[in-house]
Chains A and B, each alone.
Chain A
Amino acid sequence: MASEATPRVNAKYLDSFTNQTVRILGKVVSLRGETATIDANGTINVQLNRDAHLQLNNAVEVVGKVQQDLSVKVFQATDFGSNIDFIAVEAVVDATHRYKEIFYDSND
């Protein structure tokens, strides 16, 4: 069964999730029209879709597919405001992969 889960990752996990749909919560550090850079324990380049409205310096949660070059093609972006504690967000990413049994099905 194709998993509907979108595991929460950050920059450190991208290379083990190529061609998979993931969820990233990060801070928008630069905006360049069709692309943007977000910081999620390291910088990630994202390719935006038309209805993604990112705000500089705000937190954003993107759901997207990790490309071969480790950029992320965004399917959906949700503004998470400016009041996000990224230490807690890191803890969730860590828990996601440490205790994956309650977060996503993996092949190993």
Chain B
Amino acid sequence: MDYGGGYSTTSYGAQGGAGGGGFMGGSQGGSQGAAGKGTYGKDTLRPVTIKQVLDAQQPHPDAEFKIDDVEITQVSFVGQIRNISTQTTNITYKLDDGTGTIEVKQWIDADATMDTTSDSAPSKPKLVENEWARVWGRLKAFNNKRHVGAHVIRPVADKMEITYHLLEATFVHLYFVKGPLDQIKAEGGGANGNAGEVGYGGGGDTGMNGGQMPNVSVAARRVYQTLKDSPQNNEGLHVQNVAALVGMNVADVKKAGDELLSHSMIFTTVDDDTWAVLEF
């Protein structure tokens, strides 16, 4: 369940930074530079279906795309290669994952082109039509046509990766639409009989609840929920009490608390380790 946390925190920042910053020496820098700067440090790498990429909203040109109302920077997906077209400056792959089809462009690094003909080439796994590939990249719009600028594209060796990816994309989609898994379990447990549709209603509430907590980890959400729900006087709760109630160790609770403090969601009362929920 801790697994979910990664998508809402900035833990991907470092990785995303590598892609956003050093990527391909500016051949695509034009549109990316301005938009990229604003999101530096909150870069995300999100598993998606191609349909989600095609349905992504762009509030205005040059703005970051949004999926489920959450900005996306890097995305990752799988797809069956329908077509490969080698241009002078890039290789364009047409990928189909069963939910839609999109073009993926990988720019050819002029300095590295020699490698493709040299002896090092055979060691590089081959991308062939009708085989599956995984892509990491950034969604772009050019003349109203969308494509993905690939940082990496590689063949899928184990076909279970496709199944895994689709489930992961579903999980992340539900995370953003309905809120974290543990929250749904706690608050939506009653609606189990009709998990499909009625559960969605319950999810709406938790989604809103989660909406007020942008970019906090699952641990922070749990601590917040505990502070909110536990009986207490106006001094709030001490870290030790919170740790006992949530069943986490003190160090983790402190970390979660720091996160909540930095978002002004809680405040310290009698000392630094006693917190109460900041309510308006």
Contacts and interface: CB of A to CB of B under 8 A. Distances in A.
B196 interface: yes
Interface in B131-169: 131-132, 158-160, 163-164, 166-167, 169
A95 B167 contact: yes
B51 A103 contact: yes
B49 A103 contact: yes
B51 A78 contact: no
Nearest to A103: B99
Given A5-B51, A102-B169, A80 B96 contact: no
B100 A99 contact: no
B163 A89 contact: yes
Contacts, number: 66
15 contacts: A4-B100, A59-B159, A78-B80, A78-B132, A84-B159, A85-B160, A88-B160, A92-B166, A96-B166, A99-B173, A102-B49, A102-B169, A103-B49, A103-B51, A104-B51
Contacts of A99: 170, 173-174
- How many residues of A sit at the interface, in one of the four size bands? 20 to 34
Interface string A80-108: 11011100110110011011011111000
A91 B160 contact: no
Tell which of B130, B159, B167 has the most Cβ of chain A within 10 Å. B159
A7 B96 CA distance: 12
A27 interface: no
A68 to B, nearest CB: 23
Contacts of A85: 160, 163
B98 interface: yes
Given A78-B130, A95-B167, A102 B99 contact: yes
A23 interface: yes
B51 A102 contact: yes
A69 to B, nearest CB: 24
A45 interface: no
Contacts of B48: 102
Contacts of B163: 25, 84-85, 88-89, 91-92
A57 interface: no
A23 B97 CA distance: 10
Interface in B107-124: none
A76 interface: yes
B101 interface: yes
B100 to A, nearest CB: 6
Tell which of A83, A101, A102, A105 has the most Cβ of chain B within 10 Å. A102
